[in-house]
Amino acid sequence: MFETALSWNDLAFLAQGAAMTLAVTAVSVAAGTVLGILFGVLRFQLGPYWAAPLTFVLDIFRSVPLLIQLVLGNALQSIMRLGWGPFTTSCVVLSLYTAAYCTEIVRGGIGAVPPTTRRAARSLGLTWFQDMRYIVFPLATRVSLPAWIGLTLGVMKDSALVLWLGLIELLRASQILVTRLQEPLFILIICGAIYFIISFPVARFGGYLEKRWSPND
């Protein structure tokens, strides 16, 4: 029962897949966070009415399955003859997807800073940008960071869907091995364990931060 045809080469193949998963996640989360901060500040500054178009567009990214978004993104890039590879397409779509969620987190974080604190800062002569940099940023980070960690892990898990565009990430790598070795359960357990090992400690750290940084404790 415990004999397996899995070799070290195959494990290296899985590790390459995991590296691809992490690469896609890192690029998308980095780009998505920058966009998310930009959109979040914009949404907060514009108010509900003027930001309505932005809110609507970002809402689409949260209400349409990621798989459909990826297929649409891929179709669109070939229609527009951009000539992007699967990696670029995946990263672009995932970045926008991340940005949509990150916007909510950033907006929530900024909204959690008491307006009186900000007014006090402005009365002391800080410019809007200084207020943002020295007052809002540190306070909003406390509220938003645990949620942002959760989002990062969510994107890491959702990045499994890029296999549909033909990118060989962790899940696709294990699927290829399953097809070759015909040991689905064993290989899938290894694959799941890798996801778990990446995700679990970070999730625990996020939970710890949430507990540690929760206001009024």
Partner 1 sequence: MFNYTFHWNQALRALPQMLDGALVTLQIALLSMAIGLACAIALTLFRLSGNRILGGFATAWVEIARNTPALFQIYMAHFGLGNFGIHLSPYTALLVGIAFNNAGYLAENFRGALKAIPDTQTRAARSLGMTSLQAFRYIVLPQMLRIAFLPATNQMVWAILMTSLGVTVGMNTDLAGVTQELNARSFRTFEFFALAAVIYYVIAKAVTLAARLFAARMFRY
- Which residues would be at the binding site for partner 1 (CB under 8 A)? 60, 63-69, 71-72, 74-76, 79-81, 153, 157-158, 160-161, 163-164, 171, 175, 178, 183-186, 188-189, 191-192, 195-196, 199-200, 203
* Residue whose CB is less far from partner 1, 91 or 170: 170
Give the Cα separation of 214 and 10 in Å (integer): 44
Q: How far is the CB of 123 from partner 1 (least distance, A)?
A: 37
* Residue whose CB is less far from partner 1, 65 or 115: 65
Q: How far is the CB of 68 from partner 1 (least distance, A)?
A: 5
Q: How far is the CB of 156 from partner 1 (least distance, A)?
A: 8
* Residue whose CB is less far from partner 1, 12 or 64: 64
Which of 176, 178, 172, 106 is CA-nearest to residue 144?
106
* Residue whose CB is less far from partner 1, 124 or 193: 193
* Residue whose CB is less far from partner 1, 1 or 123: 1
Number of residues that make up the chain: 217
Q: Which residue has the tokens 């179709």?
A: 75
- Cβ neighbors of 117 (< 8 A, separation 6 or more) are 135, 139
Q: How far is the CB of 124 from partner 1 (least distance, A)?
A: 38
Q: Kind and range of the H or E element at 89?
A: helix 86-111
Give the Cα separation of 68 and 79 in Å (integer): 16
Give the Cα separation of 58 and 39 in Å (integer): 9
